[in-house]
Amino acid sequence: MDFNLSDEQEAFRAAVVEFAGRQLNEGVAERDAAHQFSHEAWKKCAEFGIQGLPIPVEYGGQGADPLTIVIGMEALGYGCRDNGLIFSLNAQMWSCEVPIARFGTEAQKRRYLPGLSDGSIIGIQGMSEPGSGSDAFSLSTTARQDGDEFVLNGSKTFITNAPVANVFVVFATADRSKGAFGISAYLIDSSTPGISVGAPFHKMGLRTSPMSEITFNDCRVPASCLLGRLGAGMAIFNHSMEWERGIILAAAVGSMQRQLEASVAYARDRKQFGQPIGKFQAVSHRLADMKVRLEAARLLVYHLGWAMGEKKSTTPLESAMVKLFISESFVQSSLDTIRTHGGFGFMAEAGIERDLRDAIGGEIYSGTSDIQRNLIARHLGL
């Protein structure tokens, strides 16, 4: 087994770190306090090529392999302190771009993928509803076929990017008698009559990533908006979730590296009782635990990226383990970073507590930690 990155991958990682540190961090604290999404930062990421990473070259993207994407997102998390921006990028890449690239018609790919890549349009996925969160496929939103059109009625909630999005991948029940197999996916422009987007939610963390409800009231769309075949919604959603669960927290690994470096530097400089606090076993052991979590998280997500690129037989088990371990590790490392910095780490002006607020969401979105444990247990035959 060769764990070395190629020269190209090393150069790419360094370029992403340099770009993110130079272009994406100005005004992060102010945007976080104001719950403000940065269109400027979004465009900068597109110009660099972030949004285009999973999009094939023929549609304006980078056509990067999964491991290189993981490396790039990890580097983005290391260099960029705006976790909300990174979350919005992930939301588009895995829940909008990947389904279109995999299941879209040629016309749908040509219409949407170039704009999603160059930042001129923003995409989302509409799955969660007020009555269906972890129970993802118990949808109440319906799509009734009427001639050569579909008529959608219902509502979606906790939809990342909804207030700024141009295109929605919407899941709706077309045939209730078939249960989950009666769900289909639709590509719908946000300007379509019958769609209303609610006011942005105010959240504990990830505040620079806008989120709101979407309501469909007799929203008519042409049959050409169907993504994949009729009734393929479950397969489309599960495919996108394999990517999302597996890669959405790659950036958190970069953040954990940044946290460890900052904590080690502080533990060396901060003195109490006549010596650096890093000399106290309680502090040094905390930093040792951060290091172990970091390296284990990196190995898990790198292995998944490698397996996806080699077209090995990846399963929901692997992506569930990545999602579970990194999300909980990020929370713990954020807590340890604050503890190491003491009162200074508790102050908003230090920019340290923001990571904790942002990290907690990782145990909820893309399937809660409880759901990931259910998936893992199921693959153990339990």
User: Looking at residue 213, which CATH number applies to its domain?
Assistant: 2.40.110.10
So what's the pLDDT on residue 311? 76
Do 88 and 189 reside in the same domain of the chain?
no
First-residue to last-residue Cα distance in the chain: 32
Catalytic positions, written as ranges: 244
CA distance 55 to 376: 30
Q: Domain containing 172: what range? A: 124-231
d(CA 160, CA 304): 25
Q: According to the model, what pLDDT value does residue 177 have?
A: 83
- 303 shares its domain with 181: no
Q: What's the rounded mean pLDDT across residues 141-151?
A: 95
Q: Tell me, what's the pLDDT at 135?
A: 74
Q: How far is CA 228 from the centre of its chain?
A: 23
Q: How far is CA 284 from the centre of its chain?
A: 32
Residue with tokens 């479950």, as numbered in its chain: 234
CATH code of the domain containing 361:
1.20.140.10
Query: Is 236 among the domain residues?
Result: no
| Position 174 in a domain | yes
Question: Same domain, yes or no, for 136 and 167?
Answer: yes
Q: What number is the average pLDDT over the span 247-268?
A: 98
313 has pLDDT over 70: no
Q: Which of 85, 104, 122 is the last residue of a domain?
A: 122
Domain with residue 11: its CATH number is: 1.10.540.10
Residues 292 and 372 in one domain: yes
Tell me what pLDDT residue 154 has.
96
Q: What is the pLDDT of residues 66-106, one digit of tens each?
A: 999 999 999 999 999 999 999 999 999 999 999 999 999 99
